[in-house]
Amino acid sequence: MSKAVIHGGLVFLSGQTASGTGATSIEEQTQEILRRIDRYLSEAGTDKDAILSATIYLRDIADFSDMNQAWERWISPAHAPARCTVEARLASPHLRIEISIIAAAKPPAGDLPRNVSQPLP
């Protein structure tokens, strides 16, 4: 599975989680995910100001306020994307949040889909 794909001038990031880290609180997990998103977008030649849409999945909607504070510190108000936050069962009971992103990017040569990166360690 690709962590990110570029096609048609868009970057599609698969659901990012804080798996493989020691992050336990919603704020820690959110910050780790946002760091990963920054790295993948950079690899794709773009950045968070080009995010068009974000879908945020929370294990417990009661975490919304703490997640939202971390998000608002990270995103520029002038470039805030369309965003949806929902409560959902996640792949592991240790995961509290998952974020999927669609961002604008420069199209690759030939405008064919391409894998941006392998999973982060």
At residue 19, the 3 state secondary structure works out as coil
pLDDT at 94 over 90: yes
Predicted pLDDT of residue 118: 54
pLDDT at 109 over 60: no
The answer to whether position 53 is within a domain reads yes
Identify the CATH number of the domain in which residue 84 sits: 3.30.1330.40
The answer to whether position 68 is within a domain reads yes
Question: How many domains does the chain contain in total?
Answer: 1
CB atoms within 10 A of CB 116: 20
The answer to whether position 121 is within a domain reads no
40: nearest Cα among 102, 113, 108: 102
Predicted pLDDT of residue 113: 46
**pTM (2 d.p.):** 0.86
Note whether 15 and 99 are within 8 A (CB): yes
Residue 35 confidence class, pLDDT cut points 50, 70, 90: very high
The answer to whether position 115 is within a domain reads no
The answer to whether position 19 is within a domain reads yes
Rounded Cα distance, 18 and 29, in Å = 5
Note whether 11 and 44 are within 8 A (CB): yes
The answer to whether position 111 is within a domain reads no
Average pLDDT, the chain: 89
pLDDT at 121 over 70: no
pLDDT at 120 over 70: no
pLDDT at 115 over 60: no
Predicted pLDDT of residue 78: 87
The answer to whether position 93 is within a domain reads yes
Residue type, 90: L
Residues spanned by the domain of 22? 4-104
The answer to whether position 117 is within a domain reads no
pLDDT at 116 over 70: no
The beta-carbon contacts of 36-40 under 8 Å, at least 24 apart in sequence, are 36/120, 37/13, 37/99, 37/101, 39/120, 40/3, 40/4, 40/11, 40/13, 40/16, 40/116, 40/117
